[in-house]
Chains A and B, each alone.
Chain A
């Protein structure tokens, strides 16, 4: 029956037949019952046929390419474990970046997998569904390969051993968790704006890439190989992010204000989350890649600037409060490291005062702020530590109701004054770190009053005990004296010195009398 009166399909049309043409208009069930979530956010889609497939990958090629990548990746993992690759890293302090990654980022990948699986069912446009499903299974790949990459580290270092349990409970991990819960509890279009556009397209180079570059600079062959292996997946996710936003904007002008509000929200939410990454870049990598401020300039101010210029024609302006990030880039990482340094009793990673060389690097990278506001503080703490009085803060910090970062940031126009906003909703006063977070709350108070704020929960006695030690050990599963506290003199540090046949420091700077009591 081969009829040759029609032309052979070109690649684009062939892909169309192999994906969206598999779909049909249902008649036995109403469209709104089959796709009940497509309208409640107010986004108007007039023609799904206008969806441009962001990539063309049929399942047979997907299996083939991904299998080749997996084969190579696992060969490296095996070689890394067999040859004790963990001993070839720059310094054991580096592993603390991995602890942050495994507890704070890997669980997000799993969440993204389920989120994309859901939206991969919910759109009535089959092209968009298929693209989302491919991202879903990629995200599953990422959580699993990250676990496999870090499995070997877990056998030789503390703090990595109960990542998923910690993700659900540890105070600072509510920052990434609430971010992803926020996205997943939103409707399908907001989820894509949050994750595909803001996170993957605008901010990936500031999240995923710094960790992977950090691995490359610090001799972590397992993690950097994962990074290279995931690069082509990430490229697909980024193209999906851009297509999603352009598609929604082109579909109907009524979508513009909704999307603008989402961009404002998710930019600010992402910016706050990235503070943790910035801290890692500036303080946790023994071999530094670039400073947070430099990364923000290159990957947000330049790349993001060009992007928002491009989106201008749709009536989209740059995210609200973006000017505060330009000021904040010179401050936030120092403020956050100083916070974690104090609260190390309740972290699954170690903290420390940077060495002279590192302090000088920070002075050089942050000429306007570091020597003036932050270096003296670190030097003071170093002196205290040398006297055997390593500083730990025994009270718990005040968290922002929205981003859940402790309210430790300073006013954009005054780096000596803490930034604090509050708002009364139905007779209750809620507290925020910034105008950005306060605005987000005001737009959706019913959502944010539900936030599970760890500090509130601890003080209310909902975390297995009233004292910090019980909470840390029993509730967080942070093994006191192993996973937490000062790096110098920690079991990780001592094992590292033994492997490297170096001398133990004569006086572990982390020791003081209360040390063991957490």
Chain B
């Protein structure tokens, strides 16, 4: 038997907004669609930017990549703001629990001294690279076109800030909350030879002016090598060397990486499918940045995991690139 509440139905005069009707027909739209498509200004801009008079305020020629409609790039996660924060809130709840547990049981300060030293030298300085990723994605969110594209980058920017903060908290767990470990980690980032390749790569990315190239250098290439290297291979090394407790503090990053590769790959596939010219341009950029990223990570890998791990990561990355429709130089 079913219970039926009588309601007063009122026939709507239209199912959704006109812009969505033009794209998908007059049918009820998802919250993602309503929140993402055609929400930006596209024409009749009043003034040229004082800081970039060659371009309009929203200008598709701010990148060399051409799309007839950037809304073709969509988010496989279907994140609008509400869906995004709710997903991250669930992840942070589990992470908070892990950090709380780790602090209460003093799991990090009980690790052997040399392991703590290695964590501080090889993992905590990554917090600065995360800030670099934060800056780059905020920049792309400001420069790119179409709500479906821009919003993914501000989520990515805030994620990177969050991960930089989690890494900092690992430092605070190591130094008992004084900040000394973070000062030390920053000194490594600035002067230790194992970090200079990566720091140079990150600083070089700060001066890339084409937002799509910047996304490639940051979200596809650098993350594609660095994230698996540090959160999978270095994590594995820690586990094998008595530091398995650290894994619970980096679980967020592993989950995040698995999730974020979905939209990054989807974006590249869509852009490559648009035209041969796009494919050639992306391939040309890849050939600049992929070898540089590999070189940049060599000294870090040598210290943290051994070069072999980086080479394996690179070859897995080559497979990923192939699936996207790109070639890595390694082949």
Contact = CB atoms under 8 A, between A and B. Distances in A.
A175 to B, nearest CB: 11
Interface string A159-172: 01111110111000
Given A1-B113, A163-B17, A8 B161 contact: no
B130 interface: yes
Contact of B120 (A1, A22, A161): A1
A272 B208 CA distance: 39
A355 B112 CA distance: 81
B11 to A, nearest CB: 9
Interface residues of B, number: 96
Contact of A181 (B38, B47, B189): B47
A484 interface: no
Interface in B140-192: 141-143, 147, 150-151, 153-155, 157-159, 161-162, 164-166, 168-169, 172, 174-182, 186, 189-190
30 contacts: A3-B175, A8-B177, A18-B168, A19-B161, A21-B186, A22-B130, A22-B161, A59-B161, A59-B165, A60-B165, A66-B89, A70-B81, A117-B138, A129-B138, A133-B134, A134-B158, A137-B155, A140-B151, A141-B81, A144-B39, A148-B34, A155-B14, A162-B17, A168-B44, A178-B47, A181-B45, A185-B46, A187-B51, A451-B46, A495-B13
A178 B81 contact: no
B41 A26 contact: no
Q: Which 3 A-B pairs have CB atoms at the shortest separation, nearest pair first?
A: A118-B142, A59-B162, A67-B89
B178 A8 contact: yes
Nearest to A110: B39
Interface in B75-94: 80-82, 85-86, 88-93
B128 interface: yes
Nearest to B139: A121
A304 B44 CA distance: 34
A21 B182 contact: yes
Nearest to B157: A133
Contacts of B221: none
A506 to B, nearest CB: 25
Contacts of A165: 18-19, 38
Contact of B162 (A60, A154, A164): A60
B57 A17 contact: no
B206 interface: yes
A114 B109 contact: no
Interface in A429-483: 447-448, 450-452, 457, 477
B39 A67 contact: no
Given A40-B51, A111-B41, A182 B174 contact: no
Given A4-B176, A133-B158, A161 B141 contact: no
A164 B40 contact: yes
Q: Is the interface of B mostly helix, strand, loop or mixed?
A: helix
A165 B131 CA distance: 36
A164 B19 contact: yes
Contacts of B131: 22-23, 126
Contact of A110 (B40, B85, B189): B40
B18 A34 contact: no
A406 interface: no
B66 interface: no
B56 to A, nearest CB: 9
Contacts of B82: 70, 73-74, 141, 144-145, 148
Interface in A1-16: 1-4, 6-9, 13-14
B119 to A, nearest CB: 9
A375 to B, nearest CB: 36
Contact of B143 (A73, A118, A161): A118
A86 B165 CA distance: 44
A156 B13 contact: yes
B46 A182 contact: yes
Contacts of B38: 164-165
A361 B53 CA distance: 50
Contacts of B154: 113, 117, 133, 136-137, 140
Contacts of B7: 82-83
B85 A67 contact: yes
Interface string B42-77: 111111111100000110000000000000000000
Interface stretch (B197-205, B222-230, B260-268, B280-288): B197-205
Residue of B42, B131, B142, B178 contacting most chain A CB atoms (<10 Å): B142
Interface string B237-266: 000000000000000000000000000000
A499 interface: yes
Given A70-B82, A121-B135, A452-B44, 10 more contacts: A6-B178, A24-B189, A26-B206, A121-B136, A136-B154, A137-B81, A160-B17, A181-B45, A185-B51, A447-B47
A180 to B, nearest CB: 9
Contact of B88 (A63, A71, A136, A187): A63
B299 to A, nearest CB: 15
A26 B95 CA distance: 31
B142 A115 contact: yes
B129 to A, nearest CB: 10
B46 A178 contact: yes
A120 B151 CA distance: 14
A29 B17 contact: no
Contacts of B16: 151, 154-155
B16 to A, nearest CB: 7
Contacts of B48: 185, 450
